[in-house]
């Protein structure tokens, strides 16, 4: 089995977001870039599967759509254990343009299983996985919180409104994963970092695509007014304020 | 000149940081209080390759350069210097010593498990009556033909209890003074070795520091490192590199305290504004940052010289002395900035301050470093 | 021309979020001068139609014989059939698991731009610009959609339920659907519990709760207040609470009316996930905890001691 994990390059989760001068993007100076946390879970699960099912997974590839600035993140994925990396040389405008590029890569690489996070922590659009599934016509599921290999393909659990469902899913398949799918993301070991030096990172040119939407402006949340402090022995006062002043209970 | 770290350096720094901020931070206060050895962390860091990161991959090491090692040491030390001292002793004293001066057989047999972190090493030089003065070794290694017989006591031994492999410095030919000293690889569990109680220390409380007693311990001839009488030179050369590790540790204590102080100063309010807006605090932060930056440059310079195969002994002494001294200053200021909170354990900085003190003392006190530095300045 | 809204039922009932969605679609249809068409899939209890009526529903495509939870691809085919039928200008779904699975498929099929997790009414209709969360709640983006068909998934709790007169007319909806590739072999319902994403009030515990055993009083408080329970990341990482309760940047992003943070220090990742709550209450023993900077009301104190007092005070209020 061949697994392709799609990863997105995002600011570290501790980053304080500041707007860039154009108000359309964020200040990237001093930002630490990381693998999108949900994509990292997907990669971690792919690694776990390959360790638990010795021999049944031939390769794990990672792909990202972006300019050269995403390469450190791809190389980190290689250091963690992916076998090869692909970068589609395009700064994406929206989920659709990412999905179209990824669909091309899938056609070229022919993976049996495509994994990606349910959303990215920058655009939060949750679009790419389902778009990719629609573009390719693979079996798919989203909000997947558990994934095992089975004789006929995959056994998965997904979250639906008000519960979870267990599904049998044939291959090839595309799954958008969420928390619970894997244990802690892995820290690359020295050996992995060393081996990543000789693993391939392939750059491919994008296919033409028209974005369907665009981010025209960013704004930051308004600063909160000061917190009203209530003495420790007066829970009653808090409840009163919530009722009479804030009017939320 | 190029001050740019490579992408791989950044990755290693981040890996160490992730481990420290994600895992070590969880139980560091508790381990400090109960003086508990970080068994699980040493195992995890071994699996990640941090315990033998400088060793050639052909001996199962990580094959990384000294710059990477400094970056990793700094990040681990920001959170837990008890863990980083284990890492430092194993990497830059024990593994380095055997890799650089050991025979092929010694490397196969002893270096590989140390580099994999399956066994941890300890470096046994200090004695009750010979700390900084390494020339006057009282521990004896009597030549008995096909083996040596080891007798004596070693003090302040990091990893003294948990180590699997000891590097022991002992006197074989007292009449030759320091030219009669030898270094030996000794199995920690050999007959005749007894380990004293855990030292109840001010800081670095969860690293295991012990005295070790040798009573007629037989050491095979093939476990001697180098020619007969090479021991003193071996110890001095190995400590040159060891100083880089401790300098990086001191740097981490200082930069960790600075990071915490900056964060605290931006959150804590006094007189109606964040304390960072008071010049008294802002200037303290500025002074701390300059010291940290100076120390970092000096430590990285020493590491770079070593990686280039150039002479680094004096620079590593400068780095160790300076980083240790500013670690003490910066962590003390960090406690001051935190006020009352700085004096309680939850805010970490009091621990960093206690730990910083040791960096001025072990692996050559600041005064000894000044001797090393001044001698190199004054020699003809 | 019309607005097509998919109203999802759970066990045959329409929950609060769906009435929000109905009110929202109604408002969009009025503002853009279009008919409103509601799509329903699965079996709905008879009395529920009146509730939908009261929130503006008129023409309803009633796919009552279609299974409620199906393969995403097949589900999307049902949606496509409805789109073909009514040729909408807007397709509106909830920004929940279903919406996240379906909206992107419509986008691909009809080359339609999406505003996912749109917060309330658009900034402008012509051109269409909607506001959504970005950087996991640390910023907001204004997203412009150029396509003819606009797909919107509405963020829960971002639009108030509004009653309006409707007149539900059920129209059988029976598209021919392909065989699904995936097969549901088991379904587990989360019974009796209020869904985190749908709750008006959320009571959330952090590491300051000290251990998994201390959650009883917190749950009691949540139950008294009709709130859902949540937790911070360290809590779910420690296994004290299930992952689906984790709110924050890498967990769920929520925007309830009232968020009560108990023993949560307020790491930036956590705050990102709850910052759009209308009112935030923080209780923490550490007066320096960053959560207080994000909170509207705060108490410095021991959560174990305060939770029972809050329960008593709340019950007194409600008497």
Q: Which residues of B touch A72 (CB under 8 A)?
A: 7, 10-11
Does residue A126 belong to any structural domain of this protein?
Answer: yes
Q: Is the pLDDT of residue B118 over 80?
A: yes
**Share in percent of chain B as helix, strand, coil (round to 5):** 60, 15, 25
Does residue A14 belong to any structural domain of this protein?
Answer: yes
Residue of A nearest to C117 (CA): A125
Among candidates A75, A79, A190 on the partner chain, residue whose Cβ is nearest the Cβ of B53: A190
Domain count, chain A: 1
In chain B the beta strands, taken as DSSP E runs, fall at 121-124, 140-143, 147-158, 165-171, 181-187, 193-195, 209-220, 224-225, 269-270, 273-274
DSSP string, B29-85: HHHHHHT---HHHHHHHHHTT-TTTTS-GGGT-----HHHHHHHHHHHHHH-HHHHH
In chain C the beta strands, taken as DSSP E runs, fall at 2-6, 35-41, 59-63, 88-94, 113-118, 128-134, 139-145, 150-154, 169-172, 183-189, 201-205, 228-231, 258-262, 279-284, 297-300
For domain C2-172, the CATH architecture is: 3-Layer(aba) Sandwich (3.40)
* Residue B132 pLDDT class (50, 70, 90 cuts): low
| pLDDT tens-digit series, residues C133-162 | 999 889 999 999 999 999 999 999 899 999
Q: Is the pLDDT of residue A183 over 70?
A: yes
Does residue A119 belong to any structural domain of this protein?
Answer: yes
- CA gap A57, A4 in Å, rounded: 11
B268 inside 8 A of chain C by CB: yes
Among B261, B252, B332, B262, residue whose Cα is nearest residue B292:
B252
Q: Which residues of C touch B268 (CB under 8 A)?
A: 288
Does residue A234 belong to any structural domain of this protein?
Answer: no
Average model confidence (pLDDT) across chain B: 95
Please give the torsion angle defined by the CA atoms of residues A6, A10, A14 and A19, in that order, rounded to the nearest 10 degrees: -160
Does residue A190 belong to any structural domain of this protein?
Answer: yes
As a whole number, mean pLDDT of residues B66-73 equals: 98
| pLDDT tens-digit series, residues B194-242 | 999 999 999 999 999 999 999 999 999 999 999 999 999 999 999 998 9
Q: What is the pLDDT of residue C192?
A: 59
As a whole number, mean pLDDT of residues B81-88 equals: 97
Site from B62, B90, B267, B272 to mutate, A interface, most A CB atoms within 10 angstroms: B62
- CA gap A1, A110 in Å, rounded: 10
As a whole number, mean pLDDT of residues B309-338 equals: 97
Site from B48, B263, B269 to mutate, A interface, most A CB atoms within 10 angstroms: B48
Residue of C nearest to B22 (CA): C234
* Residue A150 pLDDT class (50, 70, 90 cuts): very high
- The distance of A69 to chain B (nearest Cα, Å) reads 11
CB contact under 8 A, B264 and C288: yes
Neighbors of chain C by Cβ distance (3+ pairs < 8 Å): A, B
**pLDDT tens-place values along chain C, 319 residues long:** 899 999 999 889 998 899 999 999 999 999 999 999 999 999 999 999 999 999 999 999 999 998 766 788 999 999 999 999 999 999 999 999 899 999 999 999 999 999 999 999 999 999 999 999 999 889 999 999 999 999 999 999 899 999 988 889 999 999 999 889 999 999 888 765 678 888 899 999 999 999 999 999 999 999 999 999 999 999 998 889 988 899 998 888 898 999 999 999 999 889 989 988 999 999 999 888 889 989 999 999 999 999 999 999 999 998 8
Q: Which residues of B touch A73 (CB under 8 A)?
A: none
- Domains of chain B listed by start with CATH number: 7-120 (1.10.540.10), 122-232 (2.40.110.10), 236-378 (1.20.140.10)
The fold adopted by the segment(s) C196-318 is: Rossmann fold (3.40.50)
Interface predicted TM-score (ipTM) of this complex, two decimals: 0.92
Q: Which residues of B are catalytic?
A: 363
C187, β-bridge pairs: A165
Site from C288, C289, C295 to mutate, B interface, most B CB atoms within 10 angstroms: C288
| pLDDT tens-digit series, residues B363-377 | 999 999 999 999 999
Query: In chain C, which segments carry CATH 3.40.50.1220?
Result: 196-318
Among A215, A199, A207, residue whose Cα is nearest residue A60:
A199
Does residue A225 belong to any structural domain of this protein?
Answer: no
Does residue A101 belong to any structural domain of this protein?
Answer: yes
Query: In chain C, which segments carry CATH 3.40.50.620?
Result: 2-172
**A-proximal residues of C, 141-160, CB under 8 Å:** 141-147
Neighbors of chain B by Cβ distance (3+ pairs < 8 Å): A, C
Q: What is the pLDDT of residue C191?
A: 62
Q: Which residues of C touch B348 (CB under 8 A)?
A: none
Range of the domain at A209: 2-220
| pLDDT tens-digit series, residues B311-325 | 999 999 999 999 999
Q: What is the pLDDT of residue B267?
A: 83
Residue of C nearest to A215 (CA): C143
Q: Which residues of C touch B341 (CB under 8 A)?
A: 288
Domain harbouring A207, CATH code:
3.40.50.620
């Amino acid at each position: 089995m061949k697994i392709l994990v799609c990863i997105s390059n995002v600011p570290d989760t501790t980053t304080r977001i500041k707007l860039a001068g154009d108000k359309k993007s964020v200040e990237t100076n001093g930002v630490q870039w990381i693998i999108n946390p949900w994509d990292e879970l997907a990669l971690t699960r792919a690694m776990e599967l390959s360790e638990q099912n010795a021999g049944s997974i031939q390769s794990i590839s990672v792909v990202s759509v972006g300019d050269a600035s995403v390469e450190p993140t791809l190389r980190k994925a290689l250091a963690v254990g992916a076998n090869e990396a692909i970068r589609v040389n395009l700064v994406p405008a929206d989920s659709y343009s990412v999905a179209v590029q990824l669909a091309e890569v899938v056609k070229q690489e022919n993976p049996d299983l495509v994994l990606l996070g349910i959303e990215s922590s920058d655009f939060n659009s949750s679009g790419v996985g389902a778009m990719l599934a629609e573009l390719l016509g693979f079996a798919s599921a989203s909000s997947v919180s558990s994934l095992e290999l089975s004789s006929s393909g995959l056994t998965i659990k997904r979250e639906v409104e008000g519960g979870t469902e267990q599904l049998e899913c044939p291959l090839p398949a595309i799954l958008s994963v969420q928390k619970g799918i894997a244990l802690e993301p892995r820290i690359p070991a020295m050996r992995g970092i060393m081996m990543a030096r000789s693993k391939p990172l392939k750059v491919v040119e994008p296919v033409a695509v028209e974005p369907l939407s665009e981010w025209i402006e960013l704004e930051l949340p308004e600063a909160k007014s000061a917190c009203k402090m209530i003495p420790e022995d007066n829970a009653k006062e808090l409840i009163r304020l919530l009722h009479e002043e804030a009017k939320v209970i | 000149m190029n001050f740019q770290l490579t992408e791989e350096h950044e990755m290693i720094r981040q890996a160490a940081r992730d481990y420290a901020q994600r895992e070590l931070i969880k139980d560091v206060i508790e381990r400090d209080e109960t003086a508990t050895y970080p068994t699980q962390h040493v195992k995890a860091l071994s699996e990640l390759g941090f315990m033998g990161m400088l060793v050639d991959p052909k001996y199962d090491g990580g094959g990384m350069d000294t710059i990477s090692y400094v970056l990793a040491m700094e990040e681990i030390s920001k959170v837990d210097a008890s863990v980083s001292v284990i890492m430092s002793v194993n990497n830059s004293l024990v593994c380095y010593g055997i890799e650089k001066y050991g025979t092929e057989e010694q490397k196969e047999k002893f270096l590989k498990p140390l580099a994999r972190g399956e066994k941890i090493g300890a470096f046994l030089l200090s004695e009750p009556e010979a700390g900084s003065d390494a020339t006057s070794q009282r521990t004896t290694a009597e030549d008995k033909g096909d083996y040596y017989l080891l007798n004596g006591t070693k003090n302040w031994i990091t990893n003294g209890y948990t180590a699997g492999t000891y590097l022991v410095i002992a006197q074989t030919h007292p009449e030759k003074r320091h030219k009669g000293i030898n270094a030996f690889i000794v199995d920690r569990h050999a007959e005749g070795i007894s380990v004293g109680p855990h030292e109840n220390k001010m800081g670095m409380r969860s690293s295991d520091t012990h005295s070790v007693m040798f009573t007629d311990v037989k050491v095979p001839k093939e476990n001697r490192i180098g020619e007969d009488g090479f021991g003193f030179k071996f110890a001095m050369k190995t400590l040159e590199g060891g100083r880089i590790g401790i300098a990086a540790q001191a740097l981490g204590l200082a930069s960790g305290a600075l990071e915490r102080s900056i964060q605290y100063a931006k959150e804590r309010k006094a007189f109606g504004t964040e304390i960072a807006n008071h010049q008294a605090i802002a200037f303290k932060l500025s002074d701390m940052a300059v010291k940290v930056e100076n120390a970092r440059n000096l430590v990285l310079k020493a590491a770079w010289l070593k990686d280039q195969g150039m002479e680094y002994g004096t620079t590593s002494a400068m780095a160790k002395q300076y980083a240790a001294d500013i670690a003490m200053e910066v962590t003390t200021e960090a406690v001051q900035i935190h006020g009352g909170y700085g004096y309680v354990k939850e805010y970490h900085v009091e621990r960093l301050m206690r730990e910083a003190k040791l960096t001025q003392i072990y692996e050559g006190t600041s005064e000894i470093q000044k001797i090393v530095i001044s001698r190199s300045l004054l020699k003809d | 021309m019309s607005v097509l809204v998919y109203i999802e039922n759970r066990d045959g009932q329409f929950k609060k979020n769906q009435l929000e969605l109905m009110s929202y679609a109604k408002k969009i249809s009025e503002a853009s001068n279009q008919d409103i068409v509601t799509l329903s899939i699965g079996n709905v209890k008879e009395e529920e139609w009146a509730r939908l009526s009261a929130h503006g529903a008129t023409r309803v495509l009633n796919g009552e014989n279609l299974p409620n939870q199906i393969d995403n691809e097949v589900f999307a085919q049902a949606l496509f059939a409805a789109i073909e039928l009514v040729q909408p200008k807007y397709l509106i779904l909830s920004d929940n698991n279903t919406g996240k699975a379906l909206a992107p498929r419509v986008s691909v099929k009809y080359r339609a731009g999406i505003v996912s997790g749109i917060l309330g009414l658009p900034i402008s209709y012509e051109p269409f610009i909607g506001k959504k969360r970005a950087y996991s709640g640390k910023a907001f983006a204004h997203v412009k959609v150029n396509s003819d068909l606009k797909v919107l998934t509405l963020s829960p709790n971002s639009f108030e339920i509004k009653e309006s007169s409707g007149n539900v007319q059920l129209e059988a909806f029976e598209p021919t659907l392909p065989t699904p590739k995936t097969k549901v072999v088991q379904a587990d319902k989360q019974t009796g519990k209020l869904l985190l994403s749908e709750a008006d009030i959320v009571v959330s515990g952090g590491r300051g709760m000290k251990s998994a055993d201390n959650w009883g009083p917190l749950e009691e408080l949540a139950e008294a207040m009709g709130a859902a329970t949540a937790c911070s990341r360290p809590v779910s990482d420690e296994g004290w609470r299930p992952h689906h309760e984790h709110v924050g940047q890498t967990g769920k992003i929520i925007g309830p009316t009232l968020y009560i943070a108990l023993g949560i220090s307020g790491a930036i990742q956590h705050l990102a996930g709850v910052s759009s709550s209308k009112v935030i209450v923080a209780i923490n023993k550490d007066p320096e905890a960053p959560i207080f900077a994000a909170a509207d009301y705060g108490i410095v104190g021991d959560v174990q001691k305060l939770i029972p007092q809050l329960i008593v005070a709340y019950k007194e209020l409600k008497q």
